[in-house]
Structure 1
Amino acid sequence: MKILIIEDTEQVSRLLKIKIEKWGHEARIAATGKEALDIVKQEMFDLVLLDIFLPDAIAYDLIPKLKLGWSGMEIITMTGHSSRDVEEKVRSQGILYYMVKPIDLGELESIIVHMSKKVSSR
């Protein structure tokens, strides 16, 4: 499975990339919304891990733009600043899952395992 990590904290994005690759998947990192949009214009991803608050974008503005390229892409949002309003906004855009940081890596691995089975059956 091919996963795009959109996260502006380098330590978090590197840790996620290492874990995802250890779990047997391909991972790519983008630190900004603009970088992510440039990447998805050139490559397709099965899953996106999206930090809700990026330096140049907020997830609920970015999600529709990410989905333009390929509607089959699933999105998991991540935030360290959870609020009911933000959660409702991103959930209304059809995200797969909403995670609060610090990320529970066991939970993330379970989701990715489940997703990879779904993707391989397409």
Structure 2
Amino acid sequence: MHILIVEDDERIVEFMKRGLEAESHEVATASSKAQTLDRTEARTYDVIILDIFLGSDNGLDICRTLRQRGVESAILLMTAKGTTEIEIASKNAGANAYLAKPFSFDDLVETFARRGLLLKFAEGSSVLQLHDG
């Protein structure tokens, strides 16, 4: 699976990247709106994991822009400031799921499952796959 992580905190990027690459996923990273738009124009991703607060950029705005451009990837928005308002704004921006930091790799998998997007191991394989519920 091709996954794009959009996050400006290198510790979080490395945590997610290590976990996903250990499951044989191809992982790309971006830390700004410009990089995200460049990466999504260059290739299609199965999943985009997108931080809401990216320095001067806003993940909600990036999510809306991606949807307006026809990007159909599953989008998970994440934030350190988890509130009901932000969760609603995430959904309204076109995100498939929302996750408050800090979280574990298992929390990431559970979040997709709760939203009808199942991250699971393929039968007889160690590759994590995303399936619509």
Q: Matches of residues 1-122 of structure 1 in structure 2 within 5 Å?
A: 1-110=1-110, 111=112, 112-113=119-120, 116-118=129-131
Length-normalised TM-score, structure 1: 0.85
Structure 2 distance, partners of 1:102, 1:41, is: 30
* Pair 1:23–1:91, CA change in 2 (3 A): same
Structure 2 distance, partners of 1:33, 1:90, is: 16
- Letter in structure 2 aligned against 1:8: D
Q: Deviations over 1:58-100 (max 9, x none)?
A: 1221112223444421100111111222211111233221101
- Letter in structure 1 aligned against 2:105: L
Which 5+ residue runs of structure 1 have no aligned equivalent? none
> Which of 25-34 and 108-117 deviates more?
108-117
Q: Confirm or deny: 8 A CA contact 1:41 1:69 kept in the other structure.
A: no
Count the aligned residue pairs: 119
Q: Deviations over 1:15-35 (max 9, x none)?
A: 111100111211111111211
Flag the structure with larger Rg.
2
Structure 1 distance, partners of 2:36, 2:97, is: 19
Length-normalised TM-score, structure 2: 0.79
Which structure shows the bigger proportion of residues in strand conformation?
2
- Letter in structure 2 aligned against 1:55: G
- Letter in structure 2 aligned against 1:86: I
RMSD: 2.0
Q: Percent identity?
A: 26
Which 5+ residue runs of structure 2 have no aligned equivalent? 113-118, 122-127
Structure 1 distance, partners of 2:71, 2:33, is: 18
Which structure shows the bigger proportion of residues in helix conformation?
1
Structure 2 distance, partners of 1:82, 1:25, is: 27
Q: Confirm or deny: 8 A CA contact 2:49 2:76 kept in the other structure.
A: yes
State the SS of the aligned residue for 1:118. strand
